Chain A
Amino acid sequence: EAGVAQSPRYKIIEKRQSVAFWCNPISGHATLYWYQQILGQGPKLLIQFQNNGVVDDSQLPKDRFSAERLKGVDSTLKIQPAKLEDSAVYLCASSLILGQGTRTEADNEKLFFGSGTQLSVL
């Protein structure tokens, strides 16, 4: 089974430029997440989709960040304009189903991460 695919692997831009990241989740996974991981810290949730709808974007800096998942499969995350503090690894993750109360001991409820896109803003 193929994992979560992300591209590009690395990106270097200057501040005030725009950048976009792409994610292809595991086939059949309804839920997709974008996380930001600053060096030396744990991942921080930016946005959660179920199919093509937004479930939670409360921690997304909406003045500069945007994300979409138009057909309920692939997703893109965009930053415009970028700031120095946006330098981080952007991780995409997917899971098969949204939480449904009592979870069962099934692998399809686990969260699977891609390898991430490392962004450097100069």
Chain B
Amino acid sequence: GENVEQHPSTLSVQEGDSAVIKCTYSDSASNYFPWYKQELGKGPQLIIDIRSNVGEKKDQRIAVTLNKTAKHFSLHITETQPEDSAVYFCAATYSGGGADGLTFGKGTHLIIQP
């Protein structure tokens, strides 16, 4: 089955700086890679996703890159703000029909220092 590794487990950055979270996956068949943000006491919320036919995707201050050859993908947050403080999870799955439940990484606790 799929295995997703995520680093770092905790990341502290100054407000306004950039943050980068990295993930690797094991199953070369995986083709869908979403990122979720989870705030305390809430369920995960999808913030951006990327499919294997795309190398990079951007949405305002958030971007995701995918390297299929190396089997790793990264989340980039620029101009960080206090409301970006949360736990971020990467995930992977094969979305070709049938069972497509996501395999999640262990999460990164992002702390934005004022």
Contact = CB atoms under 8 A, between A and B. Distances in A.
A113 B98 contact: no
Interface string B24-63: 0000000010101000011111100101000000000000
B99 A48 contact: yes
Contact of A4 (B43, B99, B105): B43
Given A91-B43, A111-B34, A42 B105 contact: yes
B97 to A, nearest CB: 5
B95 A45 contact: no
B89 interface: yes
State the majority secondary structure of interface residues on A: loop
29 contacts: A41-B106, A42-B6, A42-B89, A42-B104, A42-B105, A42-B106, A43-B89, A43-B102, A43-B104, A45-B102, A56-B99, A58-B99, A93-B43, A98-B97, A98-B100, A99-B94, A100-B97, A101-B97, A110-B34, A110-B46, A110-B49, A111-B34, A111-B46, A111-B102, A113-B43, A113-B44, A115-B41, A115-B42, A115-B43
Interface of B: 4, 6, 32, 34, 36, 41-46, 49, 51, 89, 91, 93-107
Interface of A: 4, 33, 40-45, 48, 55-56, 58, 91, 93, 98-101, 103, 110-116
